[in-house]
Amino acid sequence: RKEVEQDPGPFNVPEGATVAFNCTYSNSASQSFFWYRQDCRKEPKLLMSVYSSGNEDGRFTAQLNRASQYISLLIRDSKLSDSATYLCAVPPRGSGNTGKLIFGQGTTLQVKP
Amino acid sequence: NAGVTQTPKFRILKIGQSMTLQCTQDMNHNYMYWYRQDPGMGLKLIYYSVGAGITDKGEVPNGYNVSRSTTEDFPLRLELAAPSQTSVYFCASSSTGQPANYGYTFGSGTRLTVV
């Protein structure tokens, strides 16, 4: 199993739709998980952190399922401006206090009018 | 407050040439990282540093070298450039290595093409 795995998509949804994508991870000892947003030809930017069961910020909800070792990102009431690639990131095995992250390949979301 | 600054933004190298990608941060972050991103792929860690004078290899260090003489600067050196090093390079920094607290601040990237 890859350390971090995402469905690359693209997910094509109409404006106003609710969309969710998952990210599976292999390091069962991970305590923190991250979703980054990356616009085309731009740097990734931190969207949300998940440390326990989940986190919510406006239209965005991140949830953690430890038993099945995946995190999910739910976007409600999708906007055109949500179109981007969403990367999940997890500390790798043995990363200790280094701050290292392993990134998934990203899931591309395209919101259509 | 500039954050993380990378230079150059674009570069074309010929096979066998060398170059240094510059990365500077003004946030007094101890932790700095170099990632590369190939088209349609996630980011792969090349090298990282947990403080001035301390560096270590990531997942894909071959063909690269780094140094960290100051807290602010973390340059990435490519020796004998190869087409496989064509990629977008991102530098990132973090205030802490504690998993529960950090998020990265990324630079805007360097797009490198080796021909």
Encoding tokens for residue A74? 């739910």
- Please report which confidence band the pLDDT of residue A93 belongs to, taking 50, 70 and 90 as the band edges: confident
Give the pLDDT band (50/70/90) at residue B99: low
Within a 10 A sphere around the Cβ of B69, how many other Cβ atoms? Answer: 10
**For chain B, counts of helices (H) and of strands (E):** 0, 11
pLDDT in tens, A16-27: 999 999 999 998
Looking at chain A, how many residues does it have? 113
The number of angstroms, rounded, from the C-alpha of B23 to the middle of its chain's C-alpha atoms is 7
On the 0-12 / 13-18 / 19+ scale of CB atoms within 10 A, A1 is exposed
CA-CA-CA-CA dihedral for B20, B21, B26, B29, to nearest 10: -90
DSSP 8-state symbol, B83: G
Q: What is the pLDDT of residues A33-66, one digit of tens each?
A: 999 999 998 999 999 998 877 889 999 999 999 9
* pLDDT number for residue B101: 60
Amino acid, single-letter form, for residue A64: L
Is the per-residue pLDDT at B114 higher than 80? yes
B contacts of A64 (beta carbons < 8 Å): none
Q: How confident is the model at residue A95 (pLDDT cuts 50, 70, 90)?
A: confident
DSSP A93: T
Residues of A in contact with B96 (CB under 8 A): 99
- Side chain identity, residue B16: G
**Predicted local distance difference test score (pLDDT) of residue B112:** 97
Confidence (pLDDT) at A37:
97
In this complex, do B42 and A87 lie within 8 Å of one another by their Cβ atoms?
A: yes
**Minimum distance, in Å, between the CA of residue A1 and any CA atom of chain B:** 16
At A64 the three-state DSSP class reads strand
Average pLDDT over residues B61-71: 97
* The pLDDT of residue B97 is above 90: no
